Amino acid sequence: MGHASHVNRKQYWIIWVYLLILTFLEVALVYVPGIAKPLLVSALFLLAIVKATLVGLFYMHLKHETKILRVSVAIPMASPVLYAAVLIAEAGWRLL
């Protein structure tokens, strides 16, 4: 019965609401007058990662998988994020 325990309709709708709010927040940030670009880019980057994580954990059921499967997904996914963080830091360093 392990399967049935994944199904949680209320949670699916709650995640949907979170995703909508975060998307609205992202678009609203872009329209903030005079917002500093490094701040905007980091905030957008962070919000996108939070949204992607929500989809992975709750819609793709990673929250309910075994630890080894979650780690097998997390490590390859973390490597490009880490690389991107290094690139952003490097670009920021050059601008300073």
Partner 1 sequence: MSASATAAQAHDHHHDDRPFPPDQFFGEATPGKIGMWIFLLSDALMFAGLLLAYGILRGGSDVWHPPGQPRLGINFTAGLTFLLICSSVTMVLGYAAMVEGDRKKAVRFLLLTALGGILFLCGQYHEYFGIWHPGLSKEGLDFGSSAYASTFYVTTSFHGAHVFSGVVILLITAFATWRGKTDAHDIEAVGLFWHFVDLIWILVFTLIYLIP
Helix 67-95 crosses helix 37-54 at what angle (to 10 degrees)?
Answer: 170
Using CA atoms of 47, 79, 68, 1 in order, give the dihedral in degrees to the nearest 10.
Answer: 40
Q: Is 87 in the site for partner 1 (CB under 8 A)?
A: yes
Q: Is 33 in the site for partner 1 (CB under 8 A)?
A: no
Q: Is 77 in the site for partner 1 (CB under 8 A)?
A: yes
Residues from 47 through 76 that contact partner 1 (CB under 8 A): 47-48, 51-52, 55-56, 59-61, 65-66, 68-69, 72-73, 76
CB of 96 to partner 1, least distance (A): 14
User: CA 34 to CA 90: how far, in whole Å?
Assistant: 24
